[in-house]
Structure 1
Amino acid sequence: MKFTTLAAAMTLLAAPAFAESHMTATDTAMAAPTGDAAAGEEQFNKQCVACHVVQDPATDEVLAGRNAKVGPNLYGTMGHQAGAVEGYNFGDSLKAWGEAGGTLTEENFVAYVQDPTGFLREVLDDKRARGKMAYQVRDEAQAHDLFAFLSTFGGEDDAATDGGEAPAATN
């Protein structure tokens, strides 16, 4: 009886440490972004507006960018399933990753925008995978700032439930 009680107590004491070291991508997605949203807005206006817009689907109000439609509307996408914006024709590789549970956590977003094709090849373990986004954010800090900025637009209440695995960000 004493051994069982001791084993149970040790298990309970170890649980918080184990849980912390094995955070899921969902936990990461819900964590506060590490970048600077104001700097991200500046970068968005320099790097992203040619292809993307942030438009509230409920009101059709453009919150950031112009009416660009080359890339998907980025409203409410951070922390959610990748390749799932309705009305946009995503590439097969990004759709496959999203359907497999891939979400736009900060880690995934930063790695993706720095090397879209390389990221997809790694997470899908498929050397033929390709990203449709040709532009690459060269500076990792700017990618974190962009994530922080885009995280301010919608979607906070219904975070994704499965994050998929991401490779380490590349420079």
Structure 2
Amino acid sequence: MKSVWPALAFAAVSATGAIAQDISAGERSWNKCRACHQVGETAKNGVGPQLNGLIGRHSGAVEGYSYSAANKNSGITWDEAVFGDYIKDPKAKIPGTKMVFAGIKSEQEIKDLTAFLKQFAADGKKGS
């Protein structure tokens, strides 16, 4: 009788990998955001603010973007958990925000999108 342990070990490693953040999947998810937001060295504010250096930034802090009072006064500092909560339902997290987006409900997609955005430093350059 053959041992099933090698197959089980492979399945466990594969399952763990599915939970990890996937930057390329996050880049595909970014397509939902790019109509209003930009990232990268040439990013500019558009319908929404540019998102370079998002993690660690205070809400309503991008220079030259006209935020809603609700966003400016939210007291939020973006981290992975706060962004994840926000992107699920922006209007629920910050009532009065100008962001008109239904949200992303998939936890994995949120993790992937976050990993993609985290690549971009405040100057738009990709870090490690």
Same fold (TM over 0.5): yes
TM-score by length of 2: 0.71
TM-score by length of 1: 0.55
Structure 2, unaligned stretches of length 5 or more?
A: 1-19, 123-128
Q: 4+ runs of 1 displaced by more than 3 Å?
A: none
Of the candidates 84, 101, 117, which is equivalent to residue 150 of structure 1?
A: 117
Structure 1, unaligned stretches of length 5 or more?
A: 1-33, 121-128, 156-171
Note the 1:12-161 alignment, pairs <5 A.
Answer: 35-45=21-31, 47-56=32-41, 61-62=42-43, 69-97=46-74, 100=75, 102-120=76-94, 129-135=95-101, 136-155=103-122
Q: Percent identity?
A: 37
Distance 2:46 2:110 in 1: 21
Q: Give the aligned length.
A: 103
The C-alpha deviation readout for 1:11-62, integer Å capped at 9, x for no partner, is xxxxxxxxxxxxxxxxxxxxxxx632221111102x1111111142xxxx35
Conserved? CA contact 2:45–2:65, under 8 Å = no
Cα drift, residue 68 of structure 1: 7.1
Distance 1:91 1:36 in 2: 32
Larger radius of gyration: 1
Distance 1:53 1:103 in 2: 20
Amino acid at match of 2:91: T
Amino acid at match of 2:80: E
